[in-house]
A and B are shown apart, each in its own frame.
Chain A
């Protein structure tokens, strides 16, 4: 089986690395991006199965990035967008889903919550 490919976008390195580790442990090939623009640039040239996208990022927020990806159909046909965020309010969750995210992964995450998310998206 070919490894699935994910992009983790987070300005916080610890959280970026944590996600990369957890996904790697689950057998994913993971790329990282430090901010939105970098993610967009990368996605313009690559395809991935999954993008974990932090919301609160400098310059370009996760929602804008999400909208760009959706709008420009970046990163391939089957791309799944997950809001990877510490915003835990229900309303915020709804607004993320509205703007194009497939689901929300609220920080802090554990191995189990990551696996639950993949299961939910049918990526396991």
Chain B
């Protein structure tokens, strides 16, 4: 990887420039962009927020203007509905109390049929029935028949005086055409102490005219009445009032019983066989029931029997069947389908009046037992699992258990048409619990509940009738409930709200589109800004880069000039001087370099002069040495030559010895001359080597052959050892290698009195090591360096008698080093010495 130091100054300058200029530029551009973006974001957010706030304000205005109106209307509607409910409940109670009066009157009558007949005939009350309804020709709905169409010929009432004209509101008379006067009571009986009916007058086909023993339940109305056992408990003057007793009526269809609905259910279209359901089934069977009043009849201060009056339940129904909790107020026919309803429930919460008669609880006329009511699916499953008769199962079941809209009515009972509403077990109708809450201590009230997808206001008002057994419940006879769609109350307000909301929505859309335009404008502005910012930043960056490159080039150009100048100077142009431009550091540098060049030039001049002088001296020295050598050899030639001749021609031993001494001395002198010459050459640097391939085997053999005899003559062992592997040849000057080996071996042989001399040649890496080991006296520590010096021979312990020039080792070391090797010596006093030198197998490349 490229390091910082690998870059040139120019590159470094450019990089530094870029770092200190471009990066801040980019950072500033980044800040500017960020700020702009932030601002745009804030503006956008604010605009959106403002728009949202405006939107909200409009919505709030709409809400606050229509809200109270709706609430006021709701409150008024609630109040009026509660009023209707409580008025109805009170009317029912009054009606029932009137029946108490009737029973009291009846108890005073002589128990005979004639009295009773007269009594019943006096007690009638209107019952209103609607005109016949019929199916539409397509059979999809029940509609009022031709007679049912209201026929009012009377013109509408008008205000006759000016003061009443404002909001003068007229309502047509309610339809009363089908009103009939019906007896209040279905029958009147006198029952003996034994339970047998003694006197009996009936006003309806509903009840048998036969005298029966009513102590037995199967003899009573639909085998369901149990009043006799209560009669026996009555004290004189006490009144007994029974529950509502009627046969339960099933329906195969909930809702409009039309041919289409029947077909869908897969049943024959016979609405007349199913329970009556007002506008949904105007031809069905009506629920018929009675409420029986009874009182002891006193004769001679004793109870002689009991008089009973069976109130026709239709008269109770009349109280609610025509109520509409809407502006229409009145309906000629019970109408549950529109969601408006008025019901009556008994003190236990059982339905006793309902526009849909199949919802009214009743008894099974076959057994006289209460019919199975509509259970929620959970309870139904439990009942089925229990295997108990319904009465036993319900007797042990907690009433009003966890009522919730989340529960569902048992579909099996819907299918069976068993739909009597008993609030206690109608756990999928939580309003039951609500009504029970409202009427817990008597009284009345209302709440809203979401039922079948509509918010409905529902009221409940206790029927304050507390006679007989009804006195045991705070709810008295029971309670009236009326329900209405909440939305109906405030339709007008809702309509204004809807209009206001539409206006607000339109305004909102307007704001939205304006908002989108503003945001679009901002983002356009942002994009433009980004382009301009990018462009100007890019231009600035390019400019800065260009300046950086120019500046770096300018600076480095001057440096380069200096470097080039130095190179030229280095290359030998000693006269070259740098141009000294400017007074800055570069100028000072050039000036200093020029001064330095002057000095260097002078120094070189001086050095050249000195070198020339030295060369001259060296030349003269060499010349002197050569002459010296020549002048010494010339006489030596005669001395040695003639001495030799003299020795060879000597006639006496003495003469021969003398001649020999002369010859040896002169040869010694010659050696000295040669050695001095060599040293002089080496020191003058004039020694040249004749490097060539030297065969190691031959070399060592030749050298050993010279010294072997000398050693043998002295009685010393001489050995030559070759290490393995050895190269065949080495690159060296054979004469000089020989000379070195001769020197070392002759020294070894010379200085060894006994023992051995060993020449060892071996290879160490790229070197060949020659070592000469002897068992001589060894060399004292203090002389070890000195022996390599000129004319040193270890005088301290050896005498000159050993011969030699005193230059041998000096020369040997010089030659070894010249050939690129090195020489070492180890020695131990008394043990011997080892001189070794190493030579490269081939000359090292370091020398040029």
Contacts and interface: CB of A to CB of B under 8 A. Distances in A.
Interface in B632-675: 632-642, 644-645, 648, 666, 670, 674
Contacts of A88: 629-630, 633, 674, 677
B159 to A, nearest CB: 163
A79 interface: no
B688 A90 contact: yes
Contact of A18 (B631, B633, B642, B677): B642
B641 A86 contact: no
A107 B637 contact: yes
Instruction: Count chain A CB atoms within 10 A of each CB in B626, B634, B666 and give the residue with the most.
Output: B634
A111 B637 contact: no
B641 A18 contact: yes
Contacts of B629: 86-89
Given A14-B638, A108-B639, A86 B631 contact: yes
Contact of B634 (A89, A92, A107, A111): A107
B91 to A, nearest CB: 162
Contacts of A109: 637, 640-641
A110 B629 CA distance: 18
A86 B637 CA distance: 8
A85 B645 CA distance: 20
A15 B638 contact: yes
A106 interface: yes
Nearest to A107: B637
A107 B419 CA distance: 159
Instruction: Count chain B CB atoms within 10 A of each CB in A21, A86, A90, A106 and give the residue with the most.
Output: A86
A97 interface: no
Nearest to B688: A90
Contacts of A12: 634, 638
Interface string B616-633: 000000000010011111
Interface residues of B, number: 23
A89 B677 CA distance: 9
A31 to B, nearest CB: 19
Nearest to B663: A110
Contacts of A111: 641, 644-645, 648
Binding site secondary structure of chain B? helix
A33 interface: no
Contacts of B641: 15, 18, 21-22, 108-111
Nearest to A92: B626
Contacts of A15: 634, 637-638, 641
Instruction: Count chain B CB atoms within 10 A of each CB in A22, A88, A108, A110 and give the residue with the most.
Output: A108
Nearest to A87: B630
B630 A18 contact: no
Interface residues of A, number: 20
A47 interface: no
A42 to B, nearest CB: 23
Nearest to B673: A88
B640 to A, nearest CB: 4
A110 B688 contact: no
B635 to A, nearest CB: 8
Instruction: Count chain B CB atoms within 10 A of each CB in A12, A14, A56, A92 and give the residue with the most.
Output: A14
A115 B677 CA distance: 26
Contact of A56 (B630, B644, B645): B630
B645 A108 contact: no
Contact of B638 (A18, A85, A87, A90): A18
A106 to B, nearest CB: 7
B626 A108 contact: no
Contacts of A92: 626
A92 B640 CA distance: 23
Interface in A67-124: 85-90, 92, 106-111
A22 B633 CA distance: 18
Contacts of A21: 641, 645
B235 to A, nearest CB: 174
B636 A107 contact: yes
Interface in A1-31: 12, 14-15, 18, 21-22
A56 B623 CA distance: 14
A8 B639 CA distance: 18
Interface in B109-150: none
A108 B630 contact: no
B629 to A, nearest CB: 6
A19 B637 CA distance: 10
Contacts of A14: 635, 637-638, 642
Contacts of B639: 108
B598 to A, nearest CB: 41
B670 A108 contact: yes
Contact of A107 (B633, B645, B648, B688): B633
A19 to B, nearest CB: 8
Contacts of B631: 86
Contacts of B635: 14
A21 B645 CA distance: 9
Nearest to B735: A90
A12 B631 CA distance: 11
Given A18-B638, A18-B641, A86-B629, A108 B666 contact: yes
Contacts of B638: 12, 14-15, 18, 108
A18 to B, nearest CB: 4
A14 B641 CA distance: 10
Given A18-B642, A86-B630, A87-B626, A108 B637 contact: yes
Contacts of A56: 630
Nearest to B666: A108
A7 B827 CA distance: 55
Instruction: Count chain A CB atoms within 10 A of each CB in B642, B677, B688 and give the residue with the most.
Output: B642
A90 to B, nearest CB: 7
A63 to B, nearest CB: 14
A110 B630 contact: no
Contacts of A18: 637-638, 641-642, 645
Given A12-B634, A90-B688, A108 B640 contact: yes
A7 B638 CA distance: 18
17 contacts: A12-B634, A14-B637, A15-B638, A15-B641, A18-B637, A22-B645, A56-B630, A86-B631, A86-B632, A86-B633, A88-B630, A88-B674, A106-B633, A107-B637, A108-B670, A110-B641, A110-B644
Which 10 pairs across A and B sit closest by C-beta, in order of nearness? A86-B633, A107-B637, A14-B638, A108-B637, A18-B641, A108-B640, A86-B630, A86-B634, A108-B636, A107-B633
Given A108-B637, A108-B666, A111-B648, 19 more contacts: A12-B638, A14-B635, A15-B634, A15-B638, A18-B638, A21-B641, A56-B630, A86-B629, A86-B630, A86-B632, A88-B630, A89-B629, A89-B677, A90-B688, A107-B637, A108-B670, A110-B640, A110-B641, A111-B645
Interface of B: 626, 629-642, 644-645, 648, 666, 670, 674, 677, 688
